[in-house]
Amino acid sequence: MKSGQHRELAELHRLARLYDVQTSYSDLGGREIEAGTESLLAVLRGLGAPVERIEDAGEALRQREHEAWRWRLEPVIVAWEGAMPSLELRLPVDEAKGAIEVAIEFEGGGVQSRVIQAEAAEVSRHHRIGPAEFVALRLSLEAELPWGYHRLTLRASGHELTSMVISAPRRAYAVPDQDSRPSTGSGRTGTRAEGRRWGVFLPLYALYSRRSWGLGDFTDLGTLVEWAAGEKAHFVATLPLLASFLEVPFEPSPYVPVSRLFWNEIFIDPEAAVTSLEGQVTQDDVVPAATVEAARRLNAREPVPFREAMTLKRRVLEQLTRLYFQGPAANEAGRSLRAMRPALQDYAAFRAAVERQSPSWRAWPERQRRGSLLPSDYDSETADYYAFAQATAGEQMAALARRTRERGLRLYVDLPVGVHPDGYDAWRHQDLFVEGMSVGAPPDLLAPEGQNWGFQPLKPESLRTSGYEYMRAYLRHHLSAAGILRIDHAIGLHRLFWIPEGASSRDGVFVRQRPEELYAILSLESHRHAAVLVGENLGLVPPEVNRGLEEHGVAGMYVQQFEFTGRARQPVQAPKRESIASFGTHDLPPFAAYWNDVDLEERQRMGLMDAETVERVALERERDREALASHLRERGLLDDGATTSEVYRASTRLLAESEAAWAMVNLEDTWGETRSQNVPGTMAEQHPNWTQRARYAIEQFGSLGDITKTMELMRETRPGG
């Protein structure tokens, strides 16, 4: 490489660091993977750097440095435990003089002001860019702030700079040692020591009852809560419940939602929606017996018939919408909806425009594409339907949350890391999303070629300058219902793997985030809503991620099938106290499939593993199985010739007896399911991801011996005391 090329590459790498872009990362084998030049250039362009070629890096570097030093105050400041840190003001050295006025406007009202003389401020750094010299002044405010989001304004020499100050507890909310819950039999409210807690998991689309319309709904989830409360569980967990595309385009994955701000209409209980308009309409008026019969026949369909179920539900909801908006109180009803949530009408208009114009807003005419919709751009009745459906979903979700709290349980809700690129959030917040990029993961054991999840990353700097309004909104949406919030891909609090359009997943680049600011918002919102936070920290996890989760009181995840050692004395590594422990996840094979290598056979059939790899993994598992079985027999927990279900319960006992604060039972494991809900890296023609119905209806849970034995085990080992 010539000297000029060396210089240009060095400048490109310096520019990347100024934009918080990593130029290399360590893979699972410890090898250093260097980012390619074209990938770096593409990612930098996505972040706003003026670089078309590597030769542009030098000038872009100088521009970036000027931006960082010419009258610069960080747009977000974190005040842990309310202690205002000193501020760093960067400015030209010859302008560092005179009075600096500083004011803090508190979220709850009131202002605190002071004046600092620039000449008296501490000089913390000097910096030179060519002939220009800059200085960093350290301004000490020594203020104690209440928790909240405050606005800081700084005025000096004709300049006005603003920042958002996040005053937050350093650690997220934690459940007290004693948690109020109904006492058995008396009907009075009592208390019991909580200690180690446990709960059950099942995707809501997989859950169903005799009264379901083809798949589980909010009422069914409430029934599961009641059943779990009777089993003395502490939480009920499910997958994301957010709005999805269920027509054209069709995307059943709960991890690619239309929006992180709205619930999924598919989970509405239409019969309960009719009841909510009692006095205006009866069930017979809106829900004919033939419709109910057709809907309940869908419960026998496999895979879950999303489209057919939504068609029947929409038919009822559209009729209810007309009654709601065209009845005697129509104007008042419309005003009530808009006042309840102003963004509701915007979302409804977007969904209606999708139905009229094109499934992808990216193909719309420029005005609409840029975020401006007029009433003539969509059908008003369709917009009314979406507004009513969202209001109904919100009401039913709120009722479910109340019911869960009243029974002394927590609803465990999942927050996906991204959204559908053709969805509402990507359209309404285009300034926050990066075009030409998608998020994924580098190669690992589960996905040797890496993963491309197909959704756009958010621009860290745009999030900061907006005061994280979008993030705060979707957190509030989830925490309005969730007593436990699982943060999907918690690595994304520290860095995200960006893949340029047209590149392979191997050519991705890590972009660093602002973890201190993200943790501060998470911690503050968790306390405001008394919600526990869980971070999904699986896969290629850099050390700083686990340190960050621990420092800020966010529970990590412990997955037993990743922790087998092959040693009979200690067949599995023990989980940490601050973790939620389970055998697997929705992306992994159920226990019975793992124990009998069913998943390996399936992965070979789908072309995800070759025969040599399958043989090697099977031998490793055989060693792990022998070690585990030997340990369990030695403890008297397992007999020779034990069935798979007996091994499962004995293995679950190890989870239950561990020090993990939370333990989770996948209900599908209790009855020996072998089908995976999702196989990462596969398409619909390879595996029916996100559409698998539970083998049993909820009414059968109490009579299934394998379930009742597991529930009894959990009660015995984790009574909450």
318 burial level (CB within 10 Å; 0-12, 13-18, 19+): middle
How far, in whole angstroms, is CA 343 from its chain's centroid? 21
Packing angle of the helix pair 3-18, 57-69 (nearest 10 deg): 30
CA 202, CA 239: separation in Å to the nearest integer? 8
Residues found in the chain: 721
Query: Using an 8 Å Cβ cutoff, are 510 and 21 in contact?
Result: yes
Query: Using an 8 Å Cβ cutoff, are 416 and 254 in contact?
Result: yes
Residue 539 pLDDT: 82
CA 378, CA 371: separation in Å to the nearest integer? 13
Flag residues of the chain having pLDDT under 50. 180-193, 721
Residue 282 pLDDT: 74
pLDDT digits (tens, 9 = 90+) for 539-582: 889 999 999 999 999 999 999 999 999 999 999 999 999 999 99
Residue 446 pLDDT: 67
The dihedral built from the CA positions of residue 536, 541, 542 and 543, taken in this order, carries a sign that is positive
The answer for residues whose C-beta is within 8 angstroms of residue 560's C-beta and 6 or more apart is: 572, 581, 582, 583, 584, 651, 654, 655
CA 393, CA 397: separation in Å to the nearest integer? 6
343 burial level (CB within 10 Å; 0-12, 13-18, 19+): middle
List C-alpha distances in Å: 124 to 127, 165, 296.
Answer: 10, 21, 70
CA 564, CA 557: separation in Å to the nearest integer? 15
Residue 154 pLDDT: 97
Query: Using an 8 Å Cβ cutoff, are 173 and 119 in contact?
Result: no
Query: Using an 8 Å Cβ cutoff, are 56 and 50 in contact?
Result: yes
Residue that has been written with the tokens 């009264």 in this structure: 211
Residue 604 pLDDT: 94
> What string of DSSP letters covers 482-524?
-SEEEETTGGGGTEEEEEETT--GGG-EEEE--HHHHHHHHHH
CA 226, CA 232: separation in Å to the nearest integer? 10
Residue 337 pLDDT: 67
Query: Using an 8 Å Cβ cutoff, are 407 and 226 in contact?
Result: yes
Residue that has been written with the tokens 């405050």 in this structure: 150
How far, in whole angstroms, is CA 421 from its chain's centroid? 16
CA 245, CA 559: separation in Å to the nearest integer? 31
| Helix spans in 357-497 (H) | 366-369, 380-406, 424-428, 460-465, 469-479
CA 439, CA 448: separation in Å to the nearest integer? 16
| Domains identified in the chain and CATH numbers | 3-67 (no CATH), 70-168 (2.60.40)
Indicate the residue type of 201. Answer: F
